[in-house]
Structure 1
Amino acid sequence: MLNTRRKLSVEPKPSNGEPNLIVAFATQDRRHVDQHFGSARCVMIYNVDATQWSLLEAVEYCSVDEDRHAKLPTRISDLSELNCSAIFCNACGVSAIRQLLENGINPIKVHLDTDIHSLISGLQQQLLGEPMGWVKRALKAHSGLQGQKRNQGERPTPDSDRLSQLMDEEW
């Protein structure tokens, strides 16, 4: 079976209790949003709160001759696993938009070469003030998800087995 992606997962920093968002960026150079969601070579996923941010995962999609629509379930699953609230990209097809929204992920279209750290700073400013639109909805959904996990006795952070999986993965 051909491996079509590589993942680097970083153990999340302990939560400081502030509201946070998990957001992704479609990028090739890992500094700017410069890719279409369906054909992105890399997706960087960050945990952002009002005072700090941290990289959670970098997913690199290997070049294979596949239909963009055939790639969507894997890409959306990669975002859903981390409870990602949004994906920033330069473009996104109608089918992808529908599937992302069904999974609680907001596709956010930004101009080509928008700096990722500038976008993170903008999110932090919203988190310091009164969040609006998708940010407000995402925070509300995220707090509900955290409460459900605590009620079920689960940890709100990703599984510790992820580090073991990363160690076993062939790079």
Structure 2
Amino acid sequence: MTLQRRLQVITPSGTESAAMEEGNAMIRVAFASTDMIRVDQHFGSARGMAIYRLTQECADLVEAAQFGEQAQDGGEDKLLAKFECLEGCAAVYCAAAGSSAVKQLLALGTQPVRVSHGTRISDLLRELQTCLKEHTPPPWMAKAVQRQQGDPSRFDAMASEPWEEEG
């Protein structure tokens, strides 16, 4: 099954860059959900995804995708639309995920996170914001923040390289 509907929330220009300038980590996190309130779907057969942009101060819904009814049949082709939808997401929370999907998600740089069926998205967002505020992120979040902010040591390495001026 392919993507049926996709709603993207347009934010005022500069919102993301303003958060970055303030030194705020900003990550995208997805939740497999039918009602956009609870995580209640297996990744492979998920009929919906809610994608949030998360900082220490706020969590904004930026995208909602609907995939329709899907069976848990091991069919890999149904995952392609989900992988495209998750582009730029550091993690996807779901009630379960098959081993093949987990491997593919990790290869794409998206950490699958299994939570209990019915876990409220708002509770998970609060937990993630607390991790960002207290600088106690889980490993996948620490990697995402580091990727976003870049490796500060790379500038030291560049500065130590010999310079050649063209004239």
TM-score band by shorter chain is 0.7 to 0.9
CA contact 1:4–1:63 (8 Å) conserved in 2: no
The answer as to 2:26 corresponding to 1:28 is no
The answer for unaligned runs of 5 or more in structure 1 is 146-171
The residue number in structure 2 matching 1:77 is 84
The residue number in structure 2 matching 1:100 is 105
Percent identity over paired residues: 34
TM-score (norm 2): 0.78
The answer as to 2:97 corresponding to 1:88 is no
The answer as to 2:96 corresponding to 1:53 is no
Q: How many residues align?
A: 142
C-alpha separation between the residues in 2 aligned to 1:26 and 1:134? 18
Letter in 1 for 2:11: P
The answer as to 2:127 corresponding to 1:128 is no
Q: 1:39 aligns with which of 40, 45, 59?
A: 45
The residue number in structure 1 matching 2:9 is 10
In the TM superposition, residue 3 of structure 1 has moved relative to its aligned partner by 6.1
Higher helix share: 1
Calculate the aligned-residue CA RMSD, in Å: 2.0
CA contact 1:8–1:57 (8 Å) conserved in 2: yes
C-alpha separation between the residues in 2 aligned to 1:118 and 1:54? 14
- Relative to structure 1, the CA distance from residue 37 to residue 64 in structure 2 (aligned partners, 3 Å threshold; closer, same or farther) is closer
Higher CA-based Rg = 2
In the TM superposition, residue 36 of structure 1 has moved relative to its aligned partner by 0.2
The answer for unaligned runs of 5 or more in structure 2 is 152-167
Letter in 2 for 1:46: Y
